Amino acid sequence: MKIICIGRNYAEHAKEMKSEVPAEPVFFMKPDTALLKDNEAFFYPEFTKDLHHEVEIVLKISKAGKHIEEKFAHKYYEEIGIGIDFTARDVQARCKEKGLPWEKAKAFDGSAPIGKFLPKSSFSDLNNISFHLNVNGELRQKGTTKDLLFSFDSIIAYVSQFVTFKTGDLIYTGTPEGVAAVKAGDRLSCFIGEQNLLEFDVK
């Protein structure tokens, strides 16, 4: 499986990163070795001094597809979850400065903690899913899919022009504003609505 991540999909986050609001979706990938499951602890990597959390709604692809039309995209995911797109912000800044790819900053082992999934059918409105991240019990980031620049279906249509989706692939759909550094000893808890679906320690 592969992990597709959408960048700059919330205008306020693009602003806090001093990035332009994109005219079309920005995406990058993480390998399957980035996944961190079952609330396992995350070990702070040696190569960064500025590791940021980005809490994101995650779609799980339920069937293979290529060149998926936006009007049919809803047929390609049945489950929705929440995860963290860990980012070594200092490493990313150096990559950006030199115009180099971001993989070192984004695709490292354990950089994609993933929580439990909920059936899509349990949501009354996919365009108004509220979610948040607590760090050590205090609210750190909160968002709603109302503010997505590119909807779930438009992301799938766009990305599938370039990359074939397979069953089990994950799409991290972008983070709202409020990204910040984590440190060893922090406990991260991710919620959709009031449901805690992912909780782990940074060591």
User: Can residue 59 be called a binding residue for Mg ion (CB under 5 A)?
Assistant: no
Cα separation of 104 and 122, whole Å? 36
User: Can residue 111 be called a binding residue for Mg ion (CB under 5 A)?
Assistant: no
Cα separation of 165 and 201, whole Å? 31
Of 27, 42, 54, 111, the one binding Mg ion (CB under 5 A) is 54
Give the count of residues interacting with Mg ion (CB under 5 A).
3
3-state secondary structure of 88: strand
Enumerate residues 6+ apart whose C-beta is below 8 A from 122. none
User: Of all residues in this chain, which one has the CB nearest to Mg ion in the complex?
Assistant: 85
User: Can residue 141 be called a binding residue for Mg ion (CB under 5 A)?
Assistant: no
Q: At its nearest, how many Å lie between Mg ion and the CB of residue 75?
A: 25
| Complex with Mg ion: residue 145 or 175, whichever CB lies closer | 175
Of 48, 173, 175, 189, the one binding Mg ion (CB under 5 A) is 175
Q: Is the dihedral of CA 71, 72, 73, 78 positive or negative?
A: positive
Of 68, 85, 131, 171, the one binding Mg ion (CB under 5 A) is 85
User: Can residue 169 be called a binding residue for Mg ion (CB under 5 A)?
Assistant: no
Structure tokens at 18: 């001093």
Q: Is the dihedral of CA 60, 154, 112, 129 positive or negative?
A: negative
| Complex with Mg ion: residue 106 or 160, whichever CB lies closer | 106
Q: Residue 165 forms beta bridges with which residues?
A: 65
Which residues of the shown chain bind Mg ion in the complex (CB under 5 A)? 54, 85, 175
